[in-house]
Amino acid sequence: MTIRIWDAETGAISGEPLKGHTGGVMSVAYSPDGGNIVSGSRDKTVRIWDVETGAAVDKPLKGHSDCVSSVAYSPNGRHIISGSHDETIRMWDAETGAAVGKPLEGHSGGVLSVAYSPNGRHIISGSRDKTIRIWDAEAGAAVGKPLEGHSNSVVSVAYSPNGRHIISGSHDETIRIWDAETGAAVGKPLEGHSDSVSSVAYSPNGRHIISGSHDETIRMWDAETGAAVGKPLEGHSDWVFSVAYSPNGRHVISGSGSGDRTVRMWDAETGAAVGKPLEGHSNSVVSVAYSPIPMSGTSSLDLVTRRFESGMLRLVPQLANPSRGIAGVCCLLPTPPMGGTSSLDLVIR
């Protein structure tokens, strides 16, 4: 696994590739201060990278016994959580890399998505066992009963900005909203996609939800009423694996499958495509996210990408020109056999 840094204007490679992971990267996330990137891999490890230098920070974090499918930083940046196909969630000290407490156990299927609450007190996880679980981040204990309602694997979970609600996307083609305190379902499932929902996210102001699907579209929803907002965003020619809002909420980015291999930017208000697709990837783009701050003072869209064939993790600045410095994270995976399976090897966020 290597990291490459590219010049946003010229497209030239800056510096030497940085190697690390020995297996496909499944998930990447930025630290709250934008200084580091954390990655989870099929090699069963978690790695931390310095964004400025591209260097790996210390040794890989080891402990999982299977593929690490999802990683996230705590809001204060002190901890990292990782979800794995070994059915556990682990917490790590972001500075020392030491494991914090025991693994969180309770799921009966691989953990596919993890996220922190905005205040950092809770962790949520989505699993192949079709449930969402809430955990006390300090005690490591499960909070209440599993949230049940989906009829297939839960691929993506996220908290609302105010922490009052949880959203989940599933292979059952729906999005569900949950009360974060009681665990009760809020309203009816959001229906409209014609295939698996692979990624969900709240807008920064909490008013809207976006979802990406294997039906090759992105949809926007009213977070309060659950009603679809406008028409689906169309343009990708393969599954939409991941979606994310810019920090100011004005743009949405999306990453797509091996038949498309692009990242697209959209105007969050009008739904119109912004500029041309970001091309250059040789396989599926399965994870996208914005950096909280500009890299090196630029206002470009910086993408961390993994090229599966060469085992390469790239940091790729791409020209975007949003109102504040942002960055996106893309992770590339091999395309496994399709055929309508519920395997989450395809859609880890």
- Residue 336: its pLDDT value, please? 34
Range of the domain at 232: 29-271
- Cα–chain-centroid distance for residue 340? 22
Whether 9 maps to a domain, the answer reads no
pTM of the model: 0.84
Residue 346 has a CB neighbour count (10 Å cut-off) of 23
Structure tokens at 287: 């994870």
pLDDT tens-digit map of 53-92: 878 899 999 999 999 999 999 999 999 999 999 999 999 9
Q: How far apart are CA 349 and CA 112, in angstroms?
A: 8
Q: How far apart are CA 238 and CA 115, in angstroms?
A: 26
- In which band, very low, low, confident or very high, does the pLDDT at 253 lie, cut at 50, 70 and 90? confident
Residue 306's contacts (CB-CB under 8 Å, 6 or more residues apart) are 1, 24, 25, 28, 312, 313, 314, 330, 331, 332, 333
- Residue 274: its pLDDT value, please? 87
Q: How far apart are CA 205 and CA 174, in angstroms?
A: 22
Whether 322 maps to a domain, the answer reads no
Q: Choose the most confident range, by mean pLDDT, from 189-203, 291-305, 315-329.
A: 189-203
CA torsion angle for 86, 88, 94, 99 (degrees, to 10)? Answer: -90
- Is the pLDDT confidence value at 304 over 60? no
Whether 254 maps to a domain, the answer reads yes
Structure tokens at 26: 């499944």
- Residue 34: its pLDDT value, please? 84
- Is the pLDDT confidence value at 308 over 50? no
Residue 63 has a CB neighbour count (10 Å cut-off) of 16
Structure tokens at 279: 């091309």
Please report, for the domain that includes residue 85, its CATH number.
2.130.10.10
Mean pLDDT calculated for residue range 270-285:
80
Whether 188 maps to a domain, the answer reads yes
Whether 315 maps to a domain, the answer reads no
Q: Are 125 and 136 in contact (CB under 8 A)?
A: no
* Nearest one of 96, 114, 98 to 106, comparing CA atoms: 114
Domain count, the chain: 1
Residue 156 pairs in a beta bridge with: 169
Q: Pick the more confident residue, 323 or 230.
A: 230
pLDDT tens-digit map of 177-232: 999 999 999 999 999 999 999 999 999 999 999 999 999 999 999 999 999 999 99
Mean pLDDT calculated for residue range 106-131:
98
Strand order in the sheet with 13-19: 13-19, 2-6, 312-318, 301-307, 326-329
Average pLDDT, the chain: 81
- In which band, very low, low, confident or very high, does the pLDDT at 131 lie, cut at 50, 70 and 90? very high
Whether 276 maps to a domain, the answer reads no
- Residue 92: its pLDDT value, please? 98
* Inter-CA distances, 98 with 42, 91, 203, 271, Å: 20, 9, 33, 43
Whether 208 maps to a domain, the answer reads yes
Whether 15 maps to a domain, the answer reads no
pLDDT tens-digit map of 11-30: 233 454 456 888 877 788 88
Q: Pick the more confident residue, 282 or 118.
A: 118
pLDDT tens-digit map of 149-192: 999 999 999 999 999 999 999 999 999 999 999 999 999 999 99
- Is the pLDDT confidence value at 47 over 90? yes
